[in-house]
Amino acid sequence: MQDADFMGKALELAKNALGRTSPNPLVGAVIVKDGRIVASGWHRKAGTPHAEIHALNMAGELAKGATLYVTLEPCAHYGRTGPCAKAVIEAGIRRVVIAMRDPNPLVAGKGIAMLEEAGMEVVCGIMEAEARKLNEVFLKWISTKKPFVALKTAMTLDGKIATVAGKSQWITNEASRHLVHEWRDIYDGILVGINTVLKDDPSLTTRLPDRKGRNPVRIIVDSRGRTPLDSRVVRDGQAKTLIAVTSGAPRENLEALRAAGVEILVAGDGPQVDLQELMGQLGERDICSLFVEGGAAVNFSFLREGLVDKVYAFVAPKIVGGREALTPVGGEGFAELSEAVELEGLSVESLEGDVLISGYVKGQTVR
C-alpha cells in the first residue's frame, strides 16, 4: 500500500465523528509498521483525546520506528488537551505523513516544525483536497468565526415549494426526508424564519428510524419576537432554541419568551434581523455549521447577503402549477442575470425518484 492508501483509511476513520467534534475539526490517524496498520484512532469530541493519542495508546511499543498517518497537522499547543506533536515525538514515531496543515493560528505549521526539529521525516499534502472537503465546516469557522451555511430547498418539477393552497407535505419522498434528518444530525444549528413557525409549527429536531440522532440548536429569525409560546420550538424541550430579534422587538414579547426558556439574540437595529451580525453571534457560540430550512424570503436574504456556502436542492417529479404558488427563493430577487448566485462543484443524485442537486456557491473560497 502507498501513502495515499493509508491516508484514505485515516480519512474514513475521521468521518466516524461527523457532527460531534465542533468546534474542533474531524481528524483520523493510523499507525503503520512493516507495511501494515497496527493502530488507529479518531477524534471523538472536543475536550477529549485527539486522533493521534488514541492511535498511540493502541500502538504502545509498536509506535517506535513506525509511520503515523494523520489527516491534520498535529497540534503543538496546550488547550483542553496536551500537544499531540510532543506525544508523537515521545512515542518514537519515525515518519509522519500529514494530509493538510492546520489553519488554526495556534498551530499553523508549529506542529510540523516541532516534529522536524526532533529529526522526524515529515510529508505534508497527501490527499489534501479530500482532507479539506472533510473539514469544510472547520475551515470556514476557524477562518471567519462564522458558521458554514448549507441551504436546503425542496420543490416540484415546476419549481414550487407548496400548492396554491399552501400545502407542502409532502413534496419529497421518504428517502429524501430521511437524508434531511441525517443532515440535521450532523449540523450544529438549524434555522427557519418566523413565518415557517407560524404556518407549520415545526419541531426542527432529528428523527431517524434506527436511532434518535442529535438535535441541532434551533434558531428562529423573528425580528419582532412573535414566536408563539405554545409553539413546539418553545415548549417541547427537545433542543435549545435561540430567537433572533432586532433592538425594536417589544419588550413584553421578549420577557415572555425568556420566561419560557428561550434565549434571545439581538441582531441589528433595523426592521429586519441583521443576518451578518447574527452569523457572528452564532460563530461565537461555537455553532460552526448551520442548516437553513427557511422559506422563500429567508432563503433569498441569505443568498443576497452572501452567507450561503452550499446548496442542497431536492426536485420531486411532481407538477402542481399555480401563478401564486411559492417558489424556493423569493424576496425582491436579482435584477440582472450577472447578479445570480452560481453554483460549482455540482453533484446529482437520484433518491427513489427524487433528484438531489448539490453544489457550492461560487466565490466562497474558504473550503
CB 254 within 8 Å of CB 226: no
Give the contacts of 167 (CB within 8 A, at least 6 positions apart). none
Q: Residue 220: is it exposed, middle or buried by C-beta count within 10 angstroms (0-12/13-18/19+)?
A: buried
**How many CA atoms lie within 13 Å of 335's alpha carbon, on the beta-carbon side?**
0
What nine digits make up the cell of 269? 437595529
Catalytic choice (52, 73, 136, 293): 52
Examine the residue annotation and report whether 182 is marked as an active-site residue of this protein: no
**Measured distance CA(162)–CA(174) in Å, rounded:** 17
**C-alpha closest to that of 194 among 295, 285, 292:** 295
CB 272 within 8 Å of CB 133: no
Sign of CA dihedral 92, 98, 101, 105: negative
Residues taking part in catalysis: 52
